[in-house]
Every structure is written in structure tokens, then in C-alpha cells.
């Protein structure tokens, strides 16, 4: 593949797109086994989960549906505010459904823990979490991620849906930016 024009901003590729694709194939196979006979509803958290959702759903060999929610826990900076707001709610009624939350990254866990609680209150038949990346050293609340892609160290990562100040989501690899990139944009 042609090298991305964003690569000069990248200090290090932590997880290559080939590794990501291989892992997503495995996770898709596990989900296919675990939900055999069901019609799961995958719920993506905007906007970061759009990329993993697109690849994951094509690796699940079952009839399934997707829906999206937008919640905000971050401003344009790189640290958690702890404030979670629903900006866009689901279109689907999840009562009695087998729901799988699809997230890009679990950092402090605050976002997912809030989302999990608010979805459980709507009485789904089951509720599990799939996250491509986790930063365990940053966790502030316990969160059970049944389908997990990769662990990364305590670094701010971008690419494969993850942004810094709105950009870099379209990088195919998961990368760490050069320090001089932070603060150079419009935001924090």
C-alpha cells in the first residue's frame, strides 16, 4: 500500500494494519461462534469505532445489525474529563436483544462503564463489549471487555479510527505521534 502522507507526524507504528486485520478476523470468528443462532446488534461508539465496526462486521458470519451512539467524554485534548454526555442516542430498541458494544479504545474505562450502565437499564437479553485497544495502566474503573484486540502502553495513540484533535483517524496503522505534533494544531 502507498505510504500515508501523515507518516512524517508518526514517531512509531505500534500495531500495523496487517496485525489489526488478522486480530479482527479472529475476533469475528469467536463472535460468530458465540452468537450462533442469534441476530446480534452491534453498537458502535462514534466516531472512533466506525473503522473497527466496518471491518469487524464483515468478519461476523451471522445476520447482524448495527447502530451507533455518540457520547462525549473528551474535549479536543488528550486526557479524560470524566464527563460523559449522550450526544446521539440509538435508533433501535435494544430490549431483549443480544447487544455487543464495539469500541475503539478503553482508556480510563469511564466512557464504557457509563455506556454499559445506561444500556443495561434498557433490558437487553445480553450485553458484551468488544474493544480493539486497551490501555490497562490508565484504568480508573473496572470494565469487563470480552473481545479484546490489543494492549498498548500508556501513550496517546492515533490511527484506525482514533484521532488527535479530529485528525489521523484514516491512518491504517495504530501509531504514536511525534511530541512536536501535540499542541501544533488548533486544539489542546
Tell me: does residue 109 bind ligand IMP (CB under 6 A): yes
To the nearest whole angstrom, how small is the minimum distance from the Cβ of residue 96 to ligand IMP?
Answer: 27
Residue 57 near residue 110 (C-beta atoms within 8 A): no
Tell me: does residue 182 bind ligand IMP (CB under 6 A): no
Q: What is the DSSP string of 102-122?
A: EEEEESSSHHHHHHHHHHHTT
By CB under 6 A, name the one of 4, 17, 32, 80 that touches ligand IMP.
80
Measured distance CA(24)–CA(129) in Å, rounded: 14
For cell 462514534, the residue is 46
Tell me: does residue 134 bind ligand IMP (CB under 6 A): no
Tell me: does residue 48 bind ligand IMP (CB under 6 A): yes
- Site size toward ligand IMP (CB under 6 A) is 18
By CB under 6 A, name the one of 90, 108, 148, 182 that touches ligand IMP.
108
Tell me: does residue 73 bind ligand IMP (CB under 6 A): yes
Judge whether 55 counts as a catalytic residue: no
Q: Which CB sits closer to ligand IMP, 40 or 109?
A: 109
To the nearest whole angstrom, how small is the minimum distance from the Cβ of residue 71 to ligand IMP?
Answer: 9
CA angle 162/8/136 to nearest 5° reads 35
163 three-class SS: coil
Q: Which CB sits closer to ligand IMP, 42 or 158?
A: 158
For 120-125, the CB contacts below 8 A with 24+ separation are: 122/93, 122/94, 122/95, 123/94, 123/95, 123/96, 124/94, 124/95, 124/96, 124/97, 124/98, 124/99, 125/96, 125/97, 125/98, 125/99
To the nearest whole angstrom, how small is the minimum distance from the Cβ of residue 39 to ligand IMP?
Answer: 26
To the nearest whole angstrom, how small is the minimum distance from the Cβ of residue 25 to ligand IMP?
Answer: 23
What is the total residue count of the chain? 188
Catalytic residues: 107
User: Which residues of this chain interact with ligand IMP, rule CB under 6 A?
Assistant: 45, 48, 73-74, 80, 103-111, 156-158, 162
Amino acid at each position: 500500500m502507498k505510504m500515508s502522507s501523515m507518516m512524517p507526524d508518526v514517531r512509531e507504528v505500534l500495531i500495523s494494519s496487517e496485525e489489526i486485520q488478522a486480530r479482527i478476523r479472529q475476533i469475528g470468528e469467536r463472535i460468530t461462534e458465540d452468537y450462533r443462532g442469534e441476530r446480534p446488534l452491534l453498537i458502535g461508539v462514534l466516531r472512533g469505532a466506525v473503522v473497527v465496526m466496518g471491518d469487524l462486521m464483515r468478519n461476523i458470519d451471522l445476520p447482524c445489525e448495527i447502530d451507533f451512539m455518540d457520547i462525549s467524554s473528551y474535549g479536543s485534548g488528550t486526557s479524560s474529563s470524566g464527563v460523559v454526555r449522550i450526544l446521539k442516542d440509538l435508533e433501535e430498541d435494544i430490549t431483549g436483544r443480544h447487544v455487543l458494544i464495539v469500541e475503539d479504545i478503553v482508556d480510563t474505562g469511564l466512557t464504557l462503564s457509563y455506556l454499559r450502565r445506561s444500556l443495561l437499564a434498557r433490558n437487553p437479553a445480553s450485553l458484551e463489549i468488544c474493544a480493539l485497544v486497551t490501555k490497562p495502566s490508565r484504568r480508573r474503573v473496572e470494565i469487563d471487555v470480552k473481545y479484546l484486540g490489543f494492549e498498548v502502553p500508556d501513550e496517546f495513540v492515533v490511527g484506525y479510527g482514533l484521532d488527535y484533535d479530529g485528525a489521523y483517524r484514516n491512518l491504517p496503522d495504530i501509531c504514536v505521534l511525534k511530541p512536536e505534533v501535540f499542541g501544533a494544531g488548533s486544539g489542546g
